[in-house]
Amino acid sequence: MKRAVLVILILISMGLVLSAVGCEEAKESKEPSKKSQPKAEKSVPKEPEPKEEPAEEAQKPSGPPTLADTEGYKQWLKFNREPIEGRTHGLTDIYVNQDRDVIAPHGILKFPFPDGTIIVKEILSSDLISIMRKVKGADPAHNDWEWIEYDAEESVIGKDASCWGCHEQAKAMDYVFTDLEKSE
């Protein structure tokens, strides 16, 4: 009987030892799995992509007006019904790229002319084209008009001071000598 009890005790203690070892093993096998789990990286909020700036609108056309800027001018509003016997160059036609209602509400020219106005003086006898173009900021001292005169080959005949020096006489009319003839 005593023996049997002893054997049981031994078995029990062995069982305890074994289970203790098992626990250790289990612990060990758990730990590496903890370590090997890389910490989830904090998601750093991405910097917003820089928005593309809209190309700055060209404030000023580069350089003086060209003949291309006056393309189709013969379809524009004409100041005169019959060619003018001009004071400087003989027979002349004068055109403007604006509507009559805009530059002459109630039939009377309104000064100053709006930004973007182009006035073409076509000198019929010599194929010369004189151009005035208003560009905001181009020349505040002369009401922002740009001045140039071309021959048929687009060679520059005159510009700037050689023009406004004389047109200053018409300063009260925004440097424009010619009046708009009434529509029929």
Site size toward ligand HEC (CB under 6 A) is 25
| CA 147/CA 156 separation, integer angstroms | 11
Type of residue numbered 132: M
Q: Does 148 bind ligand HEC (CB under 6 A)?
A: yes
Shortest separation between residue 170's beta carbon and ligand HEC, angstroms: 6
Kindly tell me which of 98 and 130 has the beta carbon lying closer to ligand HEC: 130
Residue of the chain from 135, 147, 150, 174 that contacts ligand HEC (CB under 6 A): 147
Kindly tell me which of 13 and 169 has the beta carbon lying closer to ligand HEC: 169
Site string for ligand HEC, 62-101 (x = CB under 6 A): ----------------------x-xxxx--x-x-------
Q: Which phi and psi angles does 91 have, rounded to 5°?
A: -60, 135
Contact 162, 100 (CB under 8 A): no
Contact 114, 98 (CB under 8 A): yes
Shortest separation between residue 111's beta carbon and ligand HEC, angstroms: 12
| H or E segment to which residue 73 belongs | none
- Cα Rg for the chain, rounded, in angstroms? 46
Type of residue numbered 145: W
Q: Does 176 bind ligand HEC (CB under 6 A)?
A: yes
| CA 183/CA 128 separation, integer angstroms | 26
Q: Which residues bind ligand HEC (CB under 6 A)?
A: 84, 86-89, 92, 94, 119, 121, 130-132, 147-149, 158-159, 162-163, 166-167, 170, 176-178
